[in-house]
Chain A
Amino acid sequence: QVQLVESGGGVVQPGRSLRLSCAASGFIFSNYAMHWVRQAPGKGLESVAVISYDGSQKYYADSVKGRFTISRDNSKNTLYVQMNSLRDEDTAVYFCARDGGDGYNMIDYWGQGTLVTVSS
């Protein structure tokens, strides 16, 4: 079965960096685009970034453009997001999610999420 396991969250000071990872299993990782989506405490869902199946195309929300970098290692079945210049408003649970591939942004499976807290 599809499994997505995020890691790397924690407490970080404003302006610092953090890298999140998402280990995928149960499907052919290199065939699927992947997303990062976040959810601030008690709030709704916000798309952060998406990467194509081969890593050649990347898209970012305006709120993170220039600060976050999405990447993947298909040999390790792992998705990453490098988060630099973190701000208070980046505090959220970060989910990785698979794009089902049947069209555009058809997210189907989600990980359990990892909490990032930006605080001094």
Chain B
Amino acid sequence: DVVMTQSPLSLPVTLGQPASISCRSSQSLVHSDGNTYLIWFQQRPGQSPRRLIYKVSNRDSGVPDRFSGSGSGTDFTLKISRVEAEDVGVYYCMQGAHWPPTFGQGTKVEIK
């Protein structure tokens, strides 16, 4: 299985400041169809995951533009330009290029 490694696992941030989460895969996530199948989810406390970003950098409808995704191959990043209180939760990357889909361990974002 493809191993997804996130860092950091815990991220205390100050309101209004930027935050960045790294996700590295053990294999390239570039599919034979040319697309890169990397997703970012947000899971707020007590809630189900919510998709924020798909195929590396495409923001889902309704997701604030302070969230952005970037990267290629095996190295990906989720950035929050200015953290707000509602951003508290655990963020997961997930790869869909290889079966089974696998998730990172999660990064817990909290306010300092």
Do A and B originate from a single complex? Answer: yes
Contact call A61/B96, Cβ cutoff below 8 A = no
Measured as residues with beta carbon below 8 angstroms from the partner, the interface class of chain A is: 20 to 34
Residue B37 is within 8 A (CB to CB) of chain A in the complex? yes
**Contact string against A for B residues 36-60, beta-carbon threshold 8 Å, 1 for contact and 0 otherwise:** 0101010000001111001100001
A104 to B55, CA, bound (A): 10
Chain A residues with Cβ below 8 Å from B101 are 35, 47, 50, 105, 107
Contact call A103/B48, Cβ cutoff below 8 A = no
- Would A45 and B94 be within 8 Å (CB), given that A104-B31, A105-B37, A106-B55 are in contact? yes
A110 to B41, CA, bound (A): 11
Measured as residues with beta carbon below 8 angstroms from the partner, the interface class of chain B is: 20 to 34
Contact call A46/B103, Cβ cutoff below 8 A = yes
A103 to B39, CA, bound (A): 12
Contact call B100/A102, Cβ cutoff below 8 A = no
Residue A55 is within 8 A (CB to CB) of chain B in the complex? no
Quote the shortest CB–CB distance from B5 to chain A (angstroms). Answer: 12
Chain B residues with Cβ below 8 Å from A106 are 37, 39, 54-55, 96
A89 to B97, CA, bound (A): 26
Chain A residues with Cβ below 8 Å from B37 are 103-106
Chain B residues with Cβ below 8 Å from A102 are 54-55
Nearest residue (CB) in B for A100 is: B54
Chain A residues with Cβ below 8 Å from B96 are 103-107
Residue B92 is within 8 A (CB to CB) of chain A in the complex? yes
Quote the shortest CB–CB distance from B53 to chain A (angstroms). Answer: 11
A32 to B50, CA, bound (A): 18
Nearest residue (CB) in B for A110 is: B48
Quote the shortest CB–CB distance from B77 to chain A (angstroms). Answer: 19
Contact call B51/A108, Cβ cutoff below 8 A = yes
Contact call A110/B50, Cβ cutoff below 8 A = yes
Task: Report which B residues bind A (CB closer than 8 A).
Answer: 31, 33, 35, 37, 39, 41, 48-51, 54-55, 60, 92, 94-97, 99-106
Instruction: List 13 contacting pairs A-B, 8 Å CB cutoff, sorted by A.
Output: A59-B99, A59-B100, A95-B48, A103-B33, A103-B35, A103-B55, A104-B31, A104-B35, A106-B54, A107-B96, A108-B60, A109-B51, A111-B48
